[in-house]
Structure 1
Amino acid sequence: MSRMTGINFNTIPAMRGMPDVFCLFPVKDAKSQTTTFQYDLQKRLTEVRNPVNQAKTFTYDKKGNLTGVTDAKGVTITFDYDVMDRLTVKHLPEGDVSYTYDVVGNLLSVTSPEGQLTFAYDALNRVTQTTQRFPLYASPYTLSYAYDANGNRTQMTSPWGTTNYTYDSLNRLISLTNPDAKTVTFAYDAAGKRTKMTYPNGTETTYAYDAASQLTQILHRKTADNTAIAFANYNYDQAGNRTSMQDLAGTHSYGYDDLHRLITADHPAQSNLVVKNEVFNYDAVGNRLSDAVMTGYQHNAANRLTENSSYTYTYDANGNLTGQTERATNAHTEYGYTSENQLKQVTLPDSSVVSFKYDPLGRRIEKVSASGGTRYVYDNEDIIAALDGNNTLTQTITHGPGIDEPLIMKKGQDNHYYHADGVGSVTALSGNNGSIVETIEYQAYGKPTFKDAVGVVIPDSAMGNLYSYTAREYDYETGMFYYRARYYAGETGRFMQEDPVGLYGNSINLYAYVLNSPIKWVDPVGLVSITPEEGMRIVARARIWRGTPYRKGWSIRKKGADCSWSTWRIYGESGFEYLYSSTEFFAKNPRFKPAPNNVPQAGDVALFNGHMGIFDPDLEPMMPIWSATITKGYRPSSLDWFDGSVQWYRYDKP
């Protein structure tokens, strides 16, 4: 579980302003809404103009490095580089962000007006220590890491103690023990699918699959008396859509249109969900037109929601939601953003304010509302500790091997254990003795209903639980979910901001949520596709490998690898482990599936007949992949370098 790389998606300028696509021709969607592109003589993207005639422009130096981005609001961000073409300074209106590196290109520090992150590495370029220094903290927080010979993380030590990890001969995590000596164990089938997870409070989770490796059951139970804490049983149609789910409340039924978009979600009468029968209609590009609560959804040519029967909405030129006004009461909510389109402030109808701060890597490190402040300490993408506004520890969190997989929350002397459904949404928390302490139900697009230990509906988590829908943080003050790069509204089933990677996202609609398939958007073996942001983490690691010599197979001592081994190690170093597969067998690897419409996003694997590489959207269009070549080592490569057509594969995360 080598998840820490020292380079997060927001350290790469592409994630916050760089050109996001190469396309010589205009892109027209199903409603004839057109996005156009301009290029210079070197075929470098110089302008993207959206369907409402708002443009983002780009400038470069003689070596092709991006030197400036001017957004549709007229805000300019500039970039400086060293002689090795590594980003050294990002000049923002709020203040500079600076980067330093070691001699082999590992990121050593990143500093912004909010503070500094530093990194240390071992001889194999694995992160051994990170320190988070921010003025809002009372003192710096340092995390250290240890690894085995295969690169698996074996220890993570924080100010709150050490977590130990053990693995089987196939490098699969089989146990983790947190600083409080609480051990969680994992078991797998022959194909690598998880079959069991055992908690130290006398509960266990079992997983069942059908012949097509589709997840059919997740059962959380107390082992002493076999009492179910929570469960989810799934049925599928021939296209892999989940057509029903059985849980403790009864049966939930789902219907889809010809594009596999969710159009009905019927919930059992025993559930506590407010809307029992949900109905959705969409236009040709995936904008919602009506649902069971609101009708009259209207959108402009850039797919920005402008009104429905309950609210009107406004946006800035960058496509960020700036205002929401309720028709019946005229209650108004305002949203403010940083120059990198990060939500920084929400002013609620009662004039109270919710504000946010982010670290130099773009991770949210503070939320302040009328009820107080919360500060966060991270292990890579995972929050491992939460502090109050006085920097007093309020909880620590132990995470599993998957991204967004919280396992244990400790508050005071009490441990609470997370139990999730087939899309990773937290449905129950159990206590020290395995009894339920809190449960959560969800509308189809994630709007939560919280319940206490006896099933009484409550406004928000009484346990201070941070995680709910798809195990993302829920801000009850605003009704939004924090999805790292942007925020999501479960009520309307769309993001508040445009996809920061633009047309390299999963949809031509930059606000759509999982192609309007929130029930089915999982892999047949219960996995979720890697995001473009996470793909850029892989790309960042691939860039560090530049110049690594070619070696048949993989040699730590000689620091070399061939195309399949280099791809395997780069994914592992980026935190996305999979069982090694040669090019001959890669197409059958259970962690990968073909990219939709064979169109790549950042980090996807290009597979030829006997060759493979990693897609980088910022490389020249004729040389778009990183790969190991016999004559020149690890370097950019062309798609016609090897015989046969290319098939793109996308990683599926746990």
Structure 2
Amino acid sequence: MNKLSPLLIFLLFSINSNAIHILHTENVSMFPVCVTPEAPGGLRATTISTSKISLVWIDNSTAEDGFTIERSSISGTTGFTSIGTVGSNVTAFTNFSLAVNKQYWYRVRAFCTSLFSPYSGVASSITLNLDVANVSRPEFKTGKVYQTINMASGAYFLNHTDLTVSAQPRPLVWQLFYNSRLAGYNHLMGFGWSHSYDYVLTNIGDSIWKVHYADGHETPFVPLADGSATPVFGGTFETLLKNVNKTYALTFKNQEVFLFDSTGKLTSITDRNGNMTTLSYSSVRLASVTAPGGRSLTFAYDASNRIIKVTDPLGRNVNYAYTSGNLTSYTDANTNTTKYTYSTLRQITRVTSAKGDTVIYNTYDAANKLISQSDAYLNATTFTYDLSPADTSTAFLPNGGTQKFIHDSMYRLLIEYNETGDSLVYTYDQDFNNRTITNEKGIRTIFTYDNRGNLILQNKPQGAVTGYTYNLKNDTTRITGALGNITTMNYDVNGNLLSVIDPLSNQKTFIYNLTGQLINTMDKLNQPASFTYNASGDLITTTTPAGTTTYAYDGSGNILTFTDPNGHITSYNYNNINQIVFVKDAASQNITYTYDKNNNLATSTDKKGSITNYTFDKKDRLVTIQDPTSATTVFRYDVQDNLTVITDPLGNVSTFSYDPKNKMNGSGNANGIKQFGYDAVGNLTSKTDETFYVTGYLYDSLSRLTTITDGVGNITKFTYDALNQKLTSEDPKNLITNYTYNANMLLTSVKDPTGSISVYTYDANGNRITEKDPAGHVTTYNFIPGDRISSIIDPIGNSSSFIYDAKGNMISKTDPNGTVALYTYDAINRLIKISYSTGDSNLYTYDGNNNLLTMSNATGLTSISYNKTNHPVVVTDAFGNRLNYTYNAGGLQSTVTYPGNRTVTYTYDGINALNQVTDWMGHITTYLYDNAGRIKTMTYPNGTRCNYVYDNAGRLKDINNKLAGNTIINRSVYTLDAGGYRVQEQRQEPLTTLLTPHINNYTYLNDNRLKKVDSITYNNDANGNRLSETGLNAALYTWTENNLLASVTRGTKAPFTFKYDPLGNRIQKRQGTNTKRYLLDYSMETFQILEEQDSSRNPKGTCIYGIGLIARIDSANNFSYYHFDGTGNTIALTDSSGLITNTYTYEPFGEMLNHNGNSDQPFLTGGRQGVTTEGNNIFYTGIGYYDAVTGRFISKSADWGLITNPQSLNRYLFAFNNPLSIIDKSVNFFRKYDNDNPRVFKKEIWFPKKINSAK
């Protein structure tokens, strides 16, 4: 501090009888007075580089002129000379131009004129010797190529884990590390190698304590008088203490303590709970490493004290061989041997894999730096190092690209230039922590740390700041999010987490046993869980309110059996390197795996015994997959290991290209090439399809997508808050949807562009417990422990309830009508039976690969058999109809054979898109595609055709059906708004559509069910199924136990009745004695109707499909070909001669306005998608029934919708009330019409592997 000066104060005053009056004052400062200063304290010396040491101290004096700094290069007691002075109040000094790898001692004293304080304590540090001490220090950020080449030092380094034994709290991991710049190091594993327990402390005359770490780097500490030590290098946060028994304790930030004996050998590793891993020795030889639970690794040596064998508790061995002190081979526990070849300077020059392939070739320069590395195919990467003007190193890659790195004298990465010249820039604080990162776009993120190296602030662009606080054991105690949301953590004295309190003050708690193992938790709803362990520390039980899961282990800690809460057991076997080779499920079905010499997967055998083979190249890249039918897919790569070619089993080729930064910039097939562009930080900025239409993407400084611009210039925008939560989405019509969130980042409201707001609330565990629609109607969800839904109460008070078994399978559901469904599962949790309180039931069986084999109900039994690739090949339905399927080598359906040996054949083009459908009479339908894979032309067997035209955004804008002579059957030309919705249609059609303006008034109940339209009333049951309607089409409806329409009665007519298979697909309709049965295509997700039959299985209408419905053949063998408008409605039928036989028109929601012709075929509204008419403008979509008059479904959808789109929560809604632009081919399937024509249509096979109706 500044020294003090005496101060004289003169006063001029007068006195009278009552008071003393001050007339004038004046201060006079005298000359300064010196006193002997106090000694500085807290002197600390920190190494900055190979030639620089920084000093800091504490000013304890109240009077000094400055400080003198003295240095000794001899010892801490002699040889000190003055090297400089600094002024008053200055408490730092940097000593430059020092020798490399040399220790210096420092002391400081204050002075005031000729008076000097006592000396501070002595501080010492050593300038860096980077090749030994810093080259491999993990806390240093250095440029790396292929993760094995250090571009700061020119070192080649590698590591491999040879044995792992599960143990608590830390597994026993036997790992080797090699560094070519440390080739002189020779301890137990040969020159240049160290191992995971290779921690050694060396005491150099009690002036320096040097610790050698497992990865090869060394850190020196300067001992202090109290037995503690100061690390020489900044960025070292371990503490080192010499105990009174002359042992040494190295404590890491995580509170692990590494104890060294007086000779410097590591003897134990103790975690924060006192659990000790012990190391025992035989003389200098490490004999064993033993975990707290007793599992151990043991070691055998050759005569030169080099480790030649490591053995784990199961007796598995890893073996090592040496030549002239070099580790030349290691043989893993599977007896596969990797070999190393060295230069005369003990640098690895070749690595030979267990298959015998040389996979790495290294060349070094005279300075021992790696200058060339070639891979197994002799693709070479070369390296140069230039120390002027900065430490610059350059990698020249095999693809011609260049990477450049600039480091400081501490070998810290300052600038990294990628292959396109863009740079990442780094700065550091005095403790070597990464202070800032400036990305390739110039955007900077700032990091702030405490003096123990813990991150306390992260400042991202746009003001996004996250803060962290810690306790003295470096445990995070508080996280303050960018919006001020605070999460708090509490710990016990050992540092075990006791509680987490989220930003909404919900708390989860944890309890531990004496060894620090978690034994109990209580979640935020006070739901408990408990855990037990075996003597080795393996978790053996997990118990929740639902039940207990049990685990058993082998001696190495691999799980041998897993027993679920229902008592079902899955078992596992492993090879000697812990790869799974055998899995037996609870149904005693087996999966097996084998591996090649390089430990890559070679074969997998499924539960039915079908074998898939895999091969890998010299670089362990997957090159072939051969399925159980011997169909082979081949993969090829470029010199940078990017996948460039996939050749499928049919010989069709897909290609991929990459930019200099190895980002995919092109993908191609027989149709053309897609192109991709990226910004400097790798965000996708453009996508150009095969027809050269471009979609553009923009991002903010945090790389969050902010705009999408389609091929016609329409822009969609997004904004975000500081936590990256989407705040708004603005469509191309400038309509904005707003989103809000609670402090736990859960969506709490959505405001749509009309201002209507939907609100959501959650329980403490984050389960959504209420949904309130814009009209204020609330749906409530209740949960039981395990966060399973126990009941749902709709806005009018109807309730559904659910019960689960211990595994979480739903075993009972009671719907609002009071119907109870009981669900039964097999040992591997597959649904095998549903029993209803009505007495009805569904049964299911499966094969070993979980494919559905049979399903049955009161209607009958359906059976399915499969080929080796799990495609259905024979289906026999409930009425005895048999369907046969075949497939090409690519797994695409080649044929479907109907009853009566009638076969439809499918062929595909070079991109596996369907290009031809041929029926059993030789009639051929063909498809042509544009380069983007969209249907361009469909040509029917009768010469008619349909042409499709798309805009630059890939949306359908023109559909044109023509007769063979180019006469237009129907044509629609669409005008689209910015949102992609159709706002105008120019029609040419065989019948004129006359829309009569009318207004209807709709009344709804609180759960969105329709109550009334004008004078027509509708009644529903508690499940929401329509029971009746009045008016001209008055009807009564009944429903099955699982909410499938059972019957419809209109007036005095005989009712229509319906039957379904156990998947809920309709398979029969009957009115009186008139029975119509449906033969379904069980290979397709849509379960298309292949044939209508009478009760004697005689065909009444047979359908042929390609991309949608192509044709129907009636009972008189007359062909009708279907022509659709742009919404998938049937507009016309033509016969085999290409003549128009029937024409149709519709109002927008699908109600048929007019029909000219005599066909009673069922595919009208939505006919292209297989939707059938049921009369009176009711349509069956395959999953539900739609009323085109009201524009609503007559029962609730099984799809509960998405809270981000509140409209989807209305389970009666049809096509989001926009049927002109959105297809609703089922109760829960929405898509834009202009995306209806798939880019690539494959006759892909779908079949339910698991029945999820109970989920």
- Normalising by structure 2, we get a TM-score of 0.32
Contact 1:207–1:217 (Cα < 8 Å) also in 2:
yes
Q: Cα–Cα, structure 1 residues 243 and 413, in superposed 2: closer, same or farther, change >3 Å?
A: closer
Give me the whole-angstrom Cα distance separating, in 1, the residues matched to 2:838 and 2:1114: 26
Check 1:45–1:195 CA distance in 2 against 1; reply closer, same or farther (3 A cut).
Answer: same
| Local SS of the residue matching 1:56 | strand
Report the Cα offset of residue 314 of structure 1.
2.5
Q: Does 1:26 align with 2:686?
A: yes
CA contact (8 A) 1:468 1:474 kept: yes
- Match of 2:1241? 517
Cα separation, 2, equivalents of 1:108 and 1:213: 40
Q: Deviation of residue 47 (structure 1)? A: 0.8
The C-alpha deviation readout for 1:197-224, integer Å capped at 9, x for no partner, is 11213x21010111222211211144xx
Cα deviation 1:499-536 (Å, max 9, x = unaligned): 9xxxxxxx999815554425x2225xx359xxxxxxxx
Partner Cα distance (1:378, 1:279) in 2: 49
**Alignment match, 2:974:** 313
Deviation at 1:82, TM superposition (A): 1.4
- Opposite residue 234 of structure 1, the aligned amino acid is Y
1:27 and 1:217 map into 2 onto residues whose CA distance is: 42
1:313 is paired with a residue of what secondary structure?
Answer: strand
1:441 partner letter:
C
1:200 maps to amino acid: A
For residues 955 and 780 of structure 2, the distance between their equivalents in structure 1, rounded to whole angstroms, comes to 39
Partners of 2:1042 and 2:1114 lie apart in 1 by: 22
Q: Which moved more, 1:189-198 or 1:113-122?
A: 113-122
Identify if the C-alpha distance between structure 1 residues 451 and 147 changes in structure 2 by more than 3 Å, giving closer, same or farther: farther
Match of 1:287, as an amino acid? Answer: R
The 1-side partners of 2:838 and 2:1091 are apart by: 18
Name the structure 1 match of 2:246. none
Q: 1:370 offset after TM fit, Å?
A: 12
Specify every segment of 5 or more residues in structure 1 that has no aligned partner in the other structure, as ranges. 1-21, 134-138, 223-227, 271-275, 333-347, 489-493, 500-506, 529-570, 578-654
1:316 Cα offset (Å): 2.2
Describe how 1:228-307 pairs up with structure 2 within 5 A: 228=880, 230-248=881-899, 250-268=902-920, 277-292=924-939, 293-307=944-958
The question of whether the paired residues in 1 share the 8 Å contact of 2:1068 and 2:1078 is answered with: no
Residue 360 of structure 1, CA deviation: 12
In the TM superposition, 1:440-519 aligns within 5 A as 441=1103, 443-447=1105-1109, 457-459=1160-1162, 460-462=1172-1174, 467-468=1180-1181, 471=1183, 496-497=1221-1222, 511-512=1235-1236, 515-517=1239-1241
Alignment of 1:13-412 (within 5 A): 23-94=683-754, 95-113=756-774, 115-133=777-795, 139-160=796-817, 161-201=819-859, 203-222=860-879, 228=880, 230-248=881-899, 250-268=902-920, 277-292=924-939, 293-309=944-960, 310-328=971-989, 331=992, 349=995, 385-387=1025-1027, 394-396=1038-1040, 398=1042, 405-407=1063-1065
Post-superposition shift, 1:70?
1.0
Q: CA deviation at 1:181?
A: 1.6
**Is the CA contact (8 Å cut-off) linking 1:397 and 1:409 kept in structure 2?**
no
One-letter code aligned to 1:308: I
Tell me the CA shift for residue 377 of structure 1: 8.9
Deviation at 1:442, TM superposition (A): 5.3
Q: Which secondary structure does the structure 1 equivalent of 2:946 belong to?
A: coil
Matches within 5 A, 1:530-549: none
8 Å contact 1:407–1:417 — kept in the other structure?
Answer: no
**Superposed displacement of residue 389, structure 1:** 5.3
Three-state SS of the structure 2 residue aligned to 1:302 is coil
Q: Report the Cα distance in structure 2 between the residues aligned to 1:468 and 1:311, rounded to whole angstroms.
A: 24
How far apart in 2 are the matches of 1:70 and 1:487?
24
- Structure 1 residues 324, 255: closer, same or farther in 2, change over 3 A? farther
Mark the runs of 5 or more structure 2 residues left unpaired by the alignment: 1-681, 961-970, 1045-1060, 1118-1158, 1163-1171, 1202-1207, 1225-1230
Q: Hey, what's the Cα distance between the residues in 2 that align with 1:378 and 1:367?
A: 13
Distance in 1, matches of 2:855 and 2:946, equals: 43
Q: Give the direction of change, closer, same or farther, for the CA distance of 1:443–1:75 in structure 2 (3 Å limit).
A: same
Check whether the contact 2:974–2:983 (CA below 8 A) recurs between aligned residues.
Answer: yes
Distance apart, 1:352 and its partner CA:
7.5
Once the two structures are superposed, residues 137-183 of structure 1 have per-residue CA deviations (whole angstroms, 9 ceiling, x without a partner) of xx543221111111111112113311111111111111112343211
**Secondary structure of the structure 1 residue equivalent to 2:915:** strand
The answer (yes or no) to whether the contact 2:935–2:1237 under 8 Å persists in 1 is no
Q: CA deviation at 1:84?
A: 1.4
Give the Å deviation of 1:349.
4.5
Inter-partner Cα distance in structure 2 for 1:321 and 1:367: 30
C-alpha displacement at 1:420, in angstroms? 3.5
Q: CA deviation at 1:427?
A: 3.0
Post-superposition shift, 1:445? 3.0
Q: 1:472 to 1:412 in 2, by over 3 A?
A: closer
Length-normalised TM-score, structure 1: 0.58
Asked whether the equivalents of residues 873 and 886 of structure 2 are also in contact (C-alpha less than 8 Å), the reply is yes
CA contact (8 A) 1:207 1:219 kept: yes
Identify the structure with bigger relative contact order (alpha carbons < 8 Å, sequence gap 6+).
1
Please say if residues 1025 and 1043 of structure 2, whose CA atoms lie closer than 8 Å, have aligned partners that are also in contact: no
Question: Equivalent residue for 1:427?
Answer: 1089
Secondary structure of 2:877's partner? Answer: strand
Residue 52 of structure 1, CA deviation? 0.6
Contact 1:385 1:397 survives alignment (8 Å): no
The superposition leaves residues 371-418 of structure 1 with CA deviations (integer Å, 9 ceiling, x where unpaired) of: 989899999xxxx83455579754346389xx9941579999999998
Change (3 A) 1:430 1:262: closer
Call closer, same or farther: CA 1:426–1:262 in 2, change over 3 Å: closer
CA pair 365-123 structure 1, distance change in 2 beyond 3 A: same
CA distance in 1, matches of 2:934, 2:928: 8
Q: Distance in 2 between matches of 1:357 and 1:150?
A: 44
Give the partner amino acid of 1:281.
L
CA RMSD of superposed structures (Å): 5.3
- Relative distance call for 1:476 and 1:248 in structure 2 (3 A) is farther
Instruction: Please tell me whether the aligned partners of residues 706 and 717 of structure 2 are also in contact (alpha carbons under 8 angstroms).
Output: yes
Q: Return the alpha-carbon distance in structure 1 between the equivalents of residues 1104 and 1001 of structure 2.
A: 26
Compared CA separation, residues 316 and 461, structure 1 to 2 (3 A): same
SS, match of residue 25 in structure 1: strand
Q: Distance in 2 between the 1:199 and 1:404 partners?
A: 6
Q: Percent identity?
A: 20
Aligned CA distance change for structure 1 residues 165 and 41 (closer, same or farther; 3 Å): same
Structure 1 residues 566-621: Cα deviation after superposition (integer angstroms, max 9, x where no partner): xxxxx99x9998xxxxxxxxxxxxxxxxxxxxxxxxxxxxxxxxxxxxxxxxxxxx
Return closer, same or farther for 1:128/1:472 CA change in 2, 3 Å cut-off.
same
SS of 1:109's partner is strand
> Kindly tell me: are residues 324 and 315 of structure 1, through their superposed partners in 2, closer, same or farther at Cα, counting changes over 3 Å?
same
With over 3 angstroms needed to count, the CA separation of the structure-2 counterparts of 1:412 and 1:204, relative to structure 1, is closer
The aligned length equals 459
Contact 1:495-1:512 at 8 Å conserved across structures: no
2: CA distance, partners of 1:121 / 1:183: 28
Shift in Å, 1:54: 0.5
**Deviation at 1:300?**
0.7
